[in-house]
Amino acid sequence: MQITAAVSRGPESPFTLETVRIDAPREDEVLVRIVATGLCHTDLFTKAALPEAVGPVVLGHEGAGVVVDVGSRVTGVSPGDHVILSYRHCGDCRQCRTGGPAYCENAHRLNSSGRRADGSATLTQHGEPVRSAFFGQSSFAEHVLATADNIVVVDRSVDLVAAAPLGCGFQTGAGAVLNVLRPESDSAVVVFGAGSVGFAALLAARSAGVATLLAVDPVPARRALAEEFGARAIDPGTHDVVGDIRAATGGGATHTLDTTGNASVIGQALSSLRARGSAVVVGLGEPEVAVNVQDLMLSGKTLRGCVEGDSTVQQFIPQLLALHAEGKFPFDRLVTEYRFDDINGAVADQKAGTVIKPVLVW
């Protein structure tokens, strides 16, 4: 079947809408018509990291849409189902068997190899393979091939445009709080970077009843929205971030979350903690960070990473939708819609910080 997709042809080139051919679904695959796709930092990070020599690439991993067809071995998913797409996992490795599908031992092969697990291409153009199957979907396209393990069936009343980022960004921030940090009502939670992941984390902490919330971000509009959501906002360009946090929390935060991937900011997240506090990092960025091991040890602090909010998507995404239905997790307020043919405008606005979460709508 011929479809339109947003194709990347190099780290510096814009996305271009092009015609590609998608395979018919195999016996274990599901064909989904995409309604909307969130634009995530991971898409842009990956685009920048792939050299032109790899050829055309279709990214996108926060897809939401309607099932068109299913393979003969697929169960639990039917044509007409409304679905949110997330990351793939094998279900058989030690991590998957012990409740850690986000850390699947086969994650690279299933999510970022550019092919199916058997090495075949889901998309072609002029008879040549197109690097695709990103997070088992490549949802910068009108249609995608997915599998039951990265599909969450949702009620038809769910707004797929607003809910699309639950597949990655929103669940990453919310899961880092609810599944990993697990603050209590008397905790003091600080989020570094008030983008879509950071705001999801703030909203999740608020839903858990945390009274003391702080957000650190250089963009005034984002600080204003954080305050609207009940957080104290700190401008890192004009304030002593660590000093302000310690003053506002009576000695230091109990929990901090870094969404920036910036080494100096991660250092602030650790320094801002009180004794026995916990810091989690979720941002792709600098691969190495200097850590004061004496402070870490003597203060009993914890530093750990987190992928996809430590979530099992078939359970966690419905949990987040339930919180939204109760008015406790208003993720729709973070979304700005863009026509799919304005994908480069969405990229520019995201990089400029003028929007929190761009969502591309077909």
pLDDT for res 44: 95
| pLDDT tens digits, one per residue of 145-186 | 999 999 999 999 999 999 999 999 999 999 999 999 999 999
Least Cα distance to 330 among 214, 230, 180, 211 occurs for 230
Is the model's pLDDT at 284 over the cut of 90? no
Under a CB-based contact definition with an 8 Å cutoff, are residues 64 and 182 in contact? no
Distance CA 26, CA 116 (A): 11
pLDDT band at 53 (very low <50, low <70, confident <90, very high): confident
Q: Write the burial class of residue 277 (CB in 10 Å: 0-12 exposed, 13-18 middle, 19+ buried).
A: buried
| pLDDT tens digits, one per residue of 314-350 | 999 999 999 999 999 999 999 999 999 999 999 999 9
Is the model's pLDDT at 246 over the cut of 90? yes
Under a CB-based contact definition with an 8 Å cutoff, are residues 228 and 250 in contact? no
Distance CA 46, CA 270 (A): 27
pLDDT for res 286: 83
pLDDT for res 37: 98
pLDDT for res 85: 98
pLDDT band at 52 (very low <50, low <70, confident <90, very high): confident
Average per-residue pLDDT for the chain: 96
| pLDDT tens digits, one per residue of 230-244 | 999 999 999 999 999
| pLDDT tens digits, one per residue of 250-282 | 999 999 999 999 999 999 999 999 999 999 999
Radius of gyration (C-alpha) of the chain in whole angstroms: 20
Is the model's pLDDT at 42 over the cut of 90? yes
Under a CB-based contact definition with an 8 Å cutoff, are residues 318 and 341 in contact? no
Token match 């990655």: residue? 168
**Which ranges in 208-312 belong to alpha helices (H)?**
220-228, 241-249, 263-271, 293-298
In a 3-state reduction of DSSP, which class is residue 252? coil
Question: What proportion of the chain, given as a percentage, has pLDDT over 90?
Answer: 96
Is the model's pLDDT at 287 over the cut of 90? no
pLDDT for res 198: 98
Least Cα distance to 343 among 124, 139, 134, 172 occurs for 139
pLDDT for res 64: 98
Question: Phi and psi of 215, rounded to 5°?
Answer: -130, 135
Domains of the chain by start residue, with CATH: 2-167+330-361 (3.90.180.10), 172-307 (3.40.50.720)
| pLDDT tens digits, one per residue of 117-145 | 999 999 999 999 999 999 999 999 999 99
Is the model's pLDDT at 61 over the cut of 90? yes
pLDDT for res 173: 98
> Would residue 226 be called left, alpha or beta, if left means φ above 0 and alpha means ψ between -120 and 50 degrees?
alpha
Q: Write the burial class of residue 108 (CB in 10 Å: 0-12 exposed, 13-18 middle, 19+ buried).
A: exposed
Cβ-count burial 344-361 (b if 16+ within 10 Å, e if not): eebbebbeeeebbbbbbe
pTM, to two decimals: 0.95
Token match 């695709």: residue? 132
Under a CB-based contact definition with an 8 Å cutoff, are residues 50 and 11 in contact? yes
Written as six digits, the tokens of 263 are 């080494």
Token match 């850590």: residue? 291
pLDDT for res 202: 98
Q: Reduce the secondary structure of 96-127 to three states and give it as a string.
A: HHCCCHHHCCCHHHHHCCCCCCCCCCCEEECC
Is the model's pLDDT at 285 over the cut of 90? no
